[in-house]
Structure 1
Amino acid sequence: MRHTAPLNAHLMGIDTHEEPIVFMRSDCAICRAEGFTANTRLQVQAGERSLIATLNIVSNELLAEGLIGFSDSAWEFLQLADRQPVRVRHAPLVRSLGALRKKIYGHALNALEISAIIRDISGRQYSDIEIASFLTASAAGHLSAAEVTAMTRAMVGSGNQLQWPGAERIFDKHCIGGLPGNRTTPIVISIGSAAGLMIPKTSSRAITSPAGTADTMEVLTEVDLPLEKLREVVEHTGACLAAGGKVGLSPVDDLLIRIERALDLDSPGQLVASVLSKKIAAGSNHILIDMPVGPTAKLRSREEACELAGVFHQVAGALGIQLRCVITDGAQAIGNGIGPVEEARDVLAVLRNRADAPPDLAERSLFLAANLLSMASGEALDSTLPQAREILYSGLAWQQFRRICEAQGGLKTLGQAPHQSCLQAQRSGKLRSMDNRRLAQLAKLAGAPSSPLAGLRLHVKTGDSVIPGQPLATLFADTPGELAYARDYYHQNRDLFDIEATS
């Protein structure tokens, strides 16, 4: 295909997230000559760098003649300068789309086909629609363990890979999710690293929840650490609690997560590849997986959890990784806070051994930390659980957490949402259960995690007796509109707190 005459690059200042978009005038001679129309896929060449982007047509007033506009992500990927000459042409055939169609029709893919798809997604060769098709086909067709292994390898190879000379065993911990308030990671990493384990913990932001570990840690300290800064923090403290974005570990995973978030989709095979690729890229070779199971958790049954654990073990074994999966109780939200700031309050309360610290979050964190210590020492939990308790209750975990935060940029002060509303019980009875999914939705409608101050604070737990007018939870929001929106949702879903009437 021939290239067109050059156009001059112009940054439009439009954030399309990771989707590369270019903008051309409706009267553009090149568009008419080449048959470019809105939504055409174009290859843009800027020096030695190229990108496939989707064309949007704009009115002539928005773009001067001879210019081609770029979205923020396309501009950054091509590393453009203002008015830099670029050339465009019809996008070449992306050969891995044949493998994508094969998967759509339910056929298994080999390692080369999986690798080609991941490589082309990483190289911005796929449109959002094509990425969504791959994720949907993978979820519907259930990726085999061999396919997940191939995907994990390809995702690790898409970015940076950390090495820690002199340290043979590198640890990490991950939770499958689906349980609001289950913010154990900062506590577990503080206990584990205080015990001498090296844990370069990088976390993603929330995909379908009101907060991820990175969202919660961001209200406590700096998390967007460049690669060298992350190395410095780990070498100084033995651990970090950072976001994975700027480090470039399995960066293709961030592209996939963006589409998963829009689809509200979190398929098992993609989940395993996502988790393990990030851990392996960070240099970890001993990984603990927390798998909460409950009627309204992500994993509904023990059988489902065991099946997923089986895939984790198969893939980890093929990649030479030591892995332990622990099935935990996911019947109700953990801690009292839901949303970045409210979950951070609980984390600090546990680490500081405050009297009002949520006991369920503390005990769950201790159990997981004991498992991490058990992986390291080979000792049974009967020995490592008292060790974890001593580290937490002596203040060593809090001291280590502060060291990590100071190394990452300092410990921040938590704010308070300007708008709140108390959600009250309407009748007497015993709280039989709470719906995790609808609690998470309630917090998201209030603005979490985009608004870190938004979310919920629970005042009751399953088994508690309640009376009319008793606070069940407090709802927090940044704006009156978001507060009203979330409150309306609660009024239509009061049974998310299942109160069994008492005689």
Structure 2
Amino acid sequence: MDTQLDFLHLRRLGINTHQEPVVYMRQDCQVAISEGFYAHSRVEVHCADQSVIATLVLVCSELLSHEEAGLSEAAWHRLGCPADGEQARFHHARPVESMSFVRGKLYGQRFNDESAKAIIEDIKAGHYSDIQLSAFVTACAGDRLDLDETIAITRAMVSSGQRFDWSSDKVLDKHCVGGLPGNRTTPIVVAIVAANGLLMPKTSSRAITSPAGTADTMESMTTVTMTFEHMRDVVEQEGGCLAWGGSVSLSPTDDIVIRVERALDLDSEGQLVASVISKKVAAGSKQVLIDIPVGPTAKVRSQSMAQTLKQLLEKTGAALGLDVRTIITDGNQPIGRGIGPALEARDILQVLRNDGHAPQDLREKSLQLAGIMLEMGEKAAVGQGYALAQRTLLDGRAMDKFKAICLAQGGFMEPPVAEFTHCIHAQHSGVVAYFNNRFIARLASLAGAPNAKAAGIELHVTLGDEVEAGAPLFTLHAEAPGELAYALDFLDGHTDVIRIEEQMV
């Protein structure tokens, strides 16, 4: 039975805890004492007709009064944005029963359809704390998920969110497994494919630790946060879209799991496949092309790893009704010159506008991928897709379609330009022999990308280029002098970002 001891007045504290709802209260307040709460208790909060399960942080200062409970931004939004002072009730959250399946997996038991569904539903409902999510990610890490388990998790992730049905047997999509800076082919491919009358409802992710995701890059040119209905309208009007997947509730547990995977720096082949395939199924796609870059500092580092991933993607896709095709590409160096949202957007626009200064590697890879997709969509005969993609780019139809998609999503704008730059030069003459993709991505992030849209790295060389001592290798871009200095501090002592080797006589 509820009593006044259950209630506190809510206060928005403006603390960003990302996706984890957190509630704060004094450790000596009446609710904490009467309920027996302790630090990191899982607490159920009720306010009006809204509720959220949150992690409790106990306060030992005057930050809050004895009658107040503070809310993180995530908790405040999940409670429907209550006004300061509104009354809320607090109880211990029920134990998360699906955690028994996670513990079982850690001890060697396999997931099945029932256990996968229970886990994914609890994650979606916010029942898992970050600690519990970490246990789930660890249980799936590496190659611990077999094909049947991967399919079970993928099905559960699809059923946890909304799903499009386009009433067409030709609905295309593409994806890159990541790990390669730049490589922003998707906007160009969507424009070419949609300009040829095919449907391509593309949803993309934001970066978590990388310098940019496709959604971040597109956001420097247009609106990417869209409702389910808005995305449907754009696709029906223009044949394609470039939306942030997190805004339309397609496979909503995916972003939650990825956040924890990245924080732990743990990769799971099975979870990666479930992430990719579930979003494609939810988007209503039928034919999917997946790019797997392979290189010593890419996410996929060997041909054998690429082949394993290829089989898992294709078989899981087939189990969920998708025609999945994969292409293994060169991941030895970044694609394009720009690394970071606005710099990648500039590359995209140069390609679409047939600018003579456009990065040719980005142009050629985009045409290659678009050509395959035009063949998959039966708009071109086998072997003729590249030529059709090239014509679509050269005659301006791709740029026209790209701009039309942007306008339908909310408007088009030119990407911003950074105020602060610093060029790094070659220390000696020789040939560009090596790019450390991970270091380059890290450096662009330290310069402020993706939160600072204009920040990142502009490359001036590619593998095999001959350079003289003092020649420009790359330029750091930043929106604030402090971020530029931070990136330069990291660079000091890291001399192997781009390796210059002496030419053999």
TM-score when scaled to structure 2? 0.95
In structure 2, C-alpha distance between the alignment counterparts of 1:294 and 1:469, rounded to whole Å: 28
Which residue does 1:366 correspond to in 2? 367
Aligned to 2:173: 172
- Structure 1 pair 119/495, CA: closer, same or farther in 2 (3 Å)? same
Looking at structure 2, the residues matched to 212 and 266 of structure 1 have their Cα atoms a distance apart, in angstroms, of: 18
* Inter-partner Cα distance in structure 1 for 2:266 and 2:216: 19
Residue 484 of structure 1 is matched in structure 2 by 485
SS at match of 1:192: helix
Matches of 2:200 and 2:249, distance apart in 1: 17
Corresponding letter in the other structure for 1:385:
Y
What stretches of structure 2 of length at least 5 have no aligned partner?
A: none
Whether contact under 8 Å (1:289, 1:323) holds in the other structure is yes
In structure 2, distance between residues paired with 1:21 and 1:421? 40
- Most deviating of 445-454 and 66-75: 66-75
Q: Is the contact made by 2:176 and 2:291 (CA closer than 8 Å) also made in structure 1?
A: yes
Q: Give distance in 1, aligned partners of 2:260 and 2:248.
A: 20
Q: CA deviation at 1:481?
A: 2.2
**Could you say what secondary structure the match of 1:350 adopts?**
helix
**Equivalent in the alignment of 1:195:** 196
Shift in Å, 1:138: 0.5
Q: Structure 1 residues 391, 80: CA separation in 2 closer, same or farther (over 3 Å shift)? A: closer
CA contact (8 A) 2:196 2:379 kept: no
Distance apart, 1:179 and its partner CA: 1.0
Q: Take 1:147 and 1:192, find their aligned partners in 2: how far apart are those partners?
A: 34
The SS at the match of 2:492 is helix
Q: Distance in 2 between matches of 1:350 and 1:265?
A: 35
Residue equivalent to 2:445: 444
Q: Distance in 1 between matches of 2:180 and 2:381?
A: 27
CA contact (8 A) 1:26 1:60 kept: no
Identity among equivalent positions (%) equals 50
CA distance in 2, matches of 1:195, 1:55: 53
Deviation at 1:451, TM superposition (A): 1.3
Counterpart of 1:417 in structure 2 is 418
The 1:323–1:52 alpha-carbon spacing in structure 2 relative to 1, beyond 3 Å, is same
Task: Give, in angstroms, the shift of residue 196 of structure 1.
Answer: 0.9
* Aligned AA (1:142): R
C-alpha displacement at 1:479, in angstroms? 2.0
Letter in 1 for 2:446: L
CA change 1:143–1:402 in 2 (3 A) is same
| Structure-to-structure mapping, 1:60-139, within 5 angstroms | 61-79=62-80, 81-82=82-83, 83-139=85-141
Q: Quick check: 1:315 aligned with 2:313?
A: no
Q: 2:160 aligns with which of 146, 158, 161?
A: 158
Instruction: Tell whether the 8 Å contact from 1:46 to 1:80 is kept in structure 2 after alignment.
Output: no
- Residue matched to 2:427: 426
- Report the CA distance shift for 1:479/1:489 in structure 2 as closer, same or farther (over 3 A): same
Q: Which amino acid letter does the alignment assign opposite residue 105 of structure 1?
A: Y
Quick one: structure 1 residues 81 and 496, their matched pair in 2 at CA, closer, same or farther if it must change by over 3 Å? closer
Amino acid at match of 2:240: A
CA contact under 8 A between 2:6 and 2:91: conserved in structure 1?
Answer: no
Distance in 2 separating the partners of 1:338 and 1:314: 33
Cα distance in 2 between the residues matched to 1:169 and 1:424: 49
Give the structure 1 partner of residue 248 of structure 2. Answer: 247
| Aligned-residue CA RMSD (Å) | 1.8
- Tell me the residue number matched to 2:351: 350
Deviates more, 1:291-300 or 1:9-18: 9-18
In the TM superposition, residue 26 of structure 1 has moved relative to its aligned partner by 3.0
- Residue 74 of structure 2 aligns to which amino acid in structure 1? S
* Residue 498 of structure 1, CA deviation: 1.6
1:195-221 CA-to-partner distances (Å, cap 9, x unmatched) read 111011010011332111001000011
Equivalence for 1:459:
460
User: Hey, what's the Cα distance between the residues in 1 that align with 2:479 and 2:95?
Assistant: 47
Q: 1:189, CA displacement in angstroms?
A: 0.5
228 and 378 in structure 1: CA distance in 2 versus 1, 3 angstrom threshold: closer
Q: Which amino acid aligns with 1:409?
A: G
Whether 1:142 and 2:144 are equivalent positions in the alignment is yes
Q: Which amino acid in the other structure matches residue 80 of structure 2?
A: Q
1:373: how far off? Answer: 0.9
Report how many residues are paired. Answer: 502
Offset of 1:192 from its aligned partner?
Answer: 0.5
Q: Deviations over 1:116-171 (max 9, x none)?
A: 11111111111001111211220145211111111111111112111223x23211
Which residue in the other structure is 2:405 paired with?
A: 404
Aligned AA for 1:322? D
Q: Pairwise mapping of residues 19-58 of structure 1 onto structure 2 (< 5 A)?
A: 19-58=20-59
Please state whether the residue corresponding to 2:217 is helix, strand or coil. Answer: helix
Q: Which secondary structure state, in structure 2, belongs to the residue aligned with residue 410 of structure 1? A: coil
Letter in 2 for 1:360: D
Q: Are the counterparts in 1 of residues 43 and 54 from structure 2 also a CA contact under 8 Å?
A: yes
Change in 2 beyond 3 A, CA 1:331/1:381:
farther
* 1:145-294 equivalent positions in 2, closer than 5 A: 145-165=147-167, 167-294=168-295
Could you tell me how far 1:292 is from its partner in structure 2?
A: 0.8
CA separation in 2, counterparts of 1:15 and 1:172? 33
Q: SS state of the match for residue 414, structure 2?
A: coil
Shift of 1:47: 4.8
Cα separation, 2, equivalents of 1:291 and 1:132: 26
Match of 2:9 in 1: 8
Cα 1:60/1:443, change in 2 over 3 Å: closer
Superposition pairs of residues 373-392 of structure 1, within 5 angstroms: 373-377=374-378, 381-392=382-393
Deviation at 1:276, TM superposition (A): 1.1
Q: Tell me the distance in 2 between the aligned counterparts of 1:223 and 1:80.
A: 23
Q: Which blocks of at least 5 consecutive residues in structure 1 are unaligned? A: none
- In 2, Cα distance between the equivalents of 1:291 and 1:382? 21
Question: Which residue number in structure 1 is paired with residue 326 of structure 2?
Answer: 325
2:62 partner SS: helix
Alpha-carbon shift at residue 22 of structure 1 (Å): 0.9
Deviation for aligned residue 1:64: 3.5
